[in-house]
C-alpha cells in the first residue's frame, strides 16, 4: 500500500482501492478516509469500503472519534463505542449500520494532520489490538504523504494552466497594439507590470494624412483590468472610423462603459486626431495624465490637463462631448503617457514626477521619435528594479531635425 500511495497519480482511486485492502488486512467490516476541508473547517469522508456508503459525509471539526483523532493527531482505539461519549450515533441511525468498535489513525504529513483513516468492527466479534493500530498508523502516514503530494501536483497543474492562459492573453493584447511604422508620425510603447496590462494605446490612419490616436489606463491590475482594456480599446477603434470629434468619441465610450457595468472600475483616457499636413492636433482627455507639448527653443513646455473625469464612473458626469483642445504643433511634439511614467520609482526611493518627465523629454529631444520612445522607456524600466505599474507612452508630431 505504501508503494501504491507513493506511485499514484490518482490518489482518490488509490485510496478507494486501498481501503478494501486495509479492511482485509485488519479484518474490519468497514473502512473510511476523512480529510479536513480547508475552506469550511469540516471533516469530509472522501472514500469508504464496506456495506454502507458514507462518502460525502460531513462533520464539524473535532466531532466524533474521527474528529478527535484529527484534532489530537494521535491514534484512538475504542473497543466499545457505546461507552465513548464522542461516538456519533446519528450516523448509524441514518445508515442502519451497527458500529461496535472503532480504530482510527491520523494522516499526518510535514507536521500537519490532513485527515484520518478509520476502520470499524473487527470480524468474528474480535477486538482491534496494538498491532492493528501500528499498521493503520503506518498506512495513515503513507496516505497523508500521498495526499499532500497530490494536492501539490494539482496546485502546480492549476498554476501552469493559469500561466499559459496569461501568456495567451498577453499575446492577444500585444496583437492589439499598433506597430510603429516609418511613414506614420506617431510612435508608442507599452510595458506591462505583469503578464497582462491595463494600459493601451492605438493609432488609426483615417486617410488624407489624418490619424486618430488614443491612450488609456484602466484602474486596477490583472485579468479584470486587461478585459476592460480590450473592451475600451475596441470601442475606440470602432468609433474612431466614423466619429471625427475625439470629445464626442470619449463621451460615447463613457456611455457604453456605464451602461454595461464596470464593477467599480474606471478608465482614464485621452483621444485625438492629428492632421499631418497642417501639423494640428485635436485632443480630448478624460481624467488622464496631463498631456505635454514640447517645442524646441523658447517655446518650452505646454501642459494640457484633462477637462473631464475618468470614463465609466457615471453617465451624467460627462455631457455629449468632452471639451477639446486644438494645438498647432509646428515642429513640436505631443507626449501622452500613463501614470506608470510619472510614478516610476527612482533609485533614491522617490518618484519621477512631472518635473522628471520634462527633464527626460529635454534630454532625448534630439533623437528621432522611435529612438526617443525607446530611450524614455529604457530610462524608467531598469532591469534591476521591478516595474510597479503598467507604463505606456505615445508621441505625436514631426521628426527631429
Residues 68 and 185 in one domain: no
β-strands 391-397, 333-337 pairing: antiparallel
Residues 147 and 8 in one domain: yes
Residues 249 and 378 in one domain: yes
In sequence order, what are the residues at sequence separation of 6 or more whose Cβ sits closer than 8 angstroms to the Cβ of residue 5? 11, 14, 18, 142, 143, 145, 146
Task: Kindly list the averaged pLDDT for each block of 10 residues, start to end, along the chain of length 401.
Answer: 66 76 90 91 90 91 92 93 91 91 92 92 92 90 82 81 74 73 83 79 92 92 81 92 94 91 85 93 96 81 94 90 93 90 74 86 87 84 61 80 39
- Determine the pLDDT at residue 400: 45
Residues 328 and 389 in one domain: yes
Surface-to-core class of residue 229, CB atoms within 10 Å of its CB (0-12 exposed, 13-18 middle, 19+ buried): buried
Residues 242 and 365 in one domain: yes
Domain annotation covers residue 87: yes
Q: Are 228 and 390 in contact (CB under 8 A)?
A: no
* Domain-ending residue, one of 156, 187, 202: 156
Residues 314 and 383 in one domain: yes
Q: What is the pTM of this model?
A: 0.64
- Determine the pLDDT at residue 222: 74
CATH label of the domain that carries residue 22: 3.30.450.40
Residues 188 and 309 in one domain: yes
Residues 144 and 197 in one domain: no
Alpha carbon 140 to chain centroid, angstroms: 36
Domain annotation covers residue 167: no
Domain annotation covers residue 165: no
- Determine the pLDDT at residue 401: 39
- How far is 189 from 317, CA to CA, in rounded Å? 30
Domain annotation covers residue 273: yes
Alpha carbon 141 to chain centroid, angstroms: 35
Domain annotation covers residue 161: no
98: how many CB neighbours lie within 10 A of its CB? 10
Residues 207 and 115 in one domain: no
CATH label of the domain that carries residue 183: 3.60.40.10
* Domain-ending residue, one of 156, 189, 218: 156
Residues 255 and 152 in one domain: no
Domain annotation covers residue 198: yes
Surface-to-core class of residue 377, CB atoms within 10 Å of its CB (0-12 exposed, 13-18 middle, 19+ buried): middle
- Determine the pLDDT at residue 129: 93
Q: Identify the domain containing residue 110 by its residue range.
A: 2-156
Residues 282 and 374 in one domain: yes
Count up the domains in the chain and report the number: 2
Residues 34 and 110 in one domain: yes
- Determine the pLDDT at residue 97: 93
- Determine the pLDDT at residue 191: 85
| β-strand partners of 324 | 284
* Domain-ending residue, one of 156, 188, 205: 156
Domain annotation covers residue 16: yes
Domain annotation covers residue 98: yes
The three grid cell numbers given for residue 389, joined into one nine-digit string: 505599474
Amino acid at each position: 500500500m505504501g508503494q501504491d500511495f507513493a506511485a499514484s497519480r490518482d490518489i482518490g482511486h488509490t485510496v478507494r482501492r486501498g481501503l478494501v485492502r486495509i479492511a482485509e488486512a485488519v479484518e474490519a467490516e468497514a473502512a473510511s478516509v476523512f480529510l479536513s476541508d480547508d475552506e469550511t473547517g469540516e471533516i469530509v469522508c472522501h472514500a469508504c469500503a464496506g456495506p454502507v456508503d458514507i462518502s460525502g459525509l460531513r462533520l464539524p471539526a473535532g466531532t466524533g472519534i474521527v474528529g478527535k483523532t484529527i484534532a489530537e493527531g494521535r491514534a484512538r482505539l475504542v473497543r466499545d463505542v457505546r461507552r465513548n461519549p464522542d461516538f456519533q450515533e446519528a450516523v448509524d441511525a441514518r445508515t442502519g449500520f451497527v458500529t461496535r468498535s472503532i480504530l482510527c489513525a491520523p494522516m499526518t504529513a510535514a507536521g500537519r494532520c490532513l485527515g484520518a483513516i478509520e476502520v470499524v468492527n473487527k470480524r468474528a466479534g474480535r477486538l482491534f489490538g496494538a498491532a492493528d493500530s501500528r499498521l493503520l498508523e503506518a498506512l495513515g502516514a503513507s496516505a497523508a504523504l500521498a495526499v499532500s503530494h497530490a494536492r501539490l501536483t494539482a496546485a502546480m497543474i492549476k498554476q501552469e494552466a493559469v500561466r499559459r492562459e496569461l501568456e495567451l492573453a498577453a499575446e492577444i493584447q500585444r496583437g492589439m497594439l499598433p506597430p510603429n511604422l516609418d511613414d506614420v508620425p506617431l510612435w508608442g510603447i507599452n510595458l506591462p507590470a505583469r503578464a497582462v496590462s491595463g494600459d493601451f494605446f492605438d493609432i488609426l490612419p483615417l486617410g488624407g494624412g489624418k490619424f486618430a490616436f488614443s491612450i488609456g489606463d484602466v484602474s486596477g491590475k490583472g485579468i479584470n483590468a486587461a478585459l476592460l482594456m480590450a473592451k475600451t480599446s475596441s470601442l475606440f477603434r470602432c468609433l474612431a472610423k466614423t466619429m471625427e470629434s475625439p470629445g464626442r468619441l470619449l463621451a460615447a465610450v463613457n456611455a457604453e462603459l456605464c451602461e454595461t457595468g464596470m464593477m467599480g472600475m474606471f478608465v482614464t483616457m485621452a483621444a485625438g486626431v492629428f492632421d499631418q499636413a497642417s501639423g494640428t492636433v485635436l485632443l480630448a482627455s478624460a481624467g488622464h495624465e496631463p498631456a505635454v507639448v514640447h517645442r524646441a527653443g523658447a517655446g518650452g513646455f505646454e501642459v494640457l490637463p484633462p477637462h473631464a473625469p475618468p470614463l465609466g464612473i457615471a453617465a451624467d458626469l460627462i455631457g455629449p462631448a468632452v471639451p477639446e483642445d486644438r494645438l498647432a504643433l509646428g515642429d513640436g511634439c505631443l507626449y501622452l503617457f500613463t501614470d506608470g511614467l510619472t510614478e516610476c520609482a527612482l533609485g533614491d526611493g522617490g518618484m519621477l514626477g512631472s518635473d522628471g518627465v520634462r527633464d527626460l523629454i529635454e534630454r532625448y529631444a534630439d533623437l528621432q521619435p522611435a529612438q526617443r520612445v525607446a530611450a524614455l522607456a529604457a530610462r524608467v524600466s531598469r532591469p534591476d528594479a521591478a516595474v510597479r505599474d503598467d507604463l505606456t507612452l505615445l508621441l505625436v508630431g514631426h521628426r527631429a531635425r
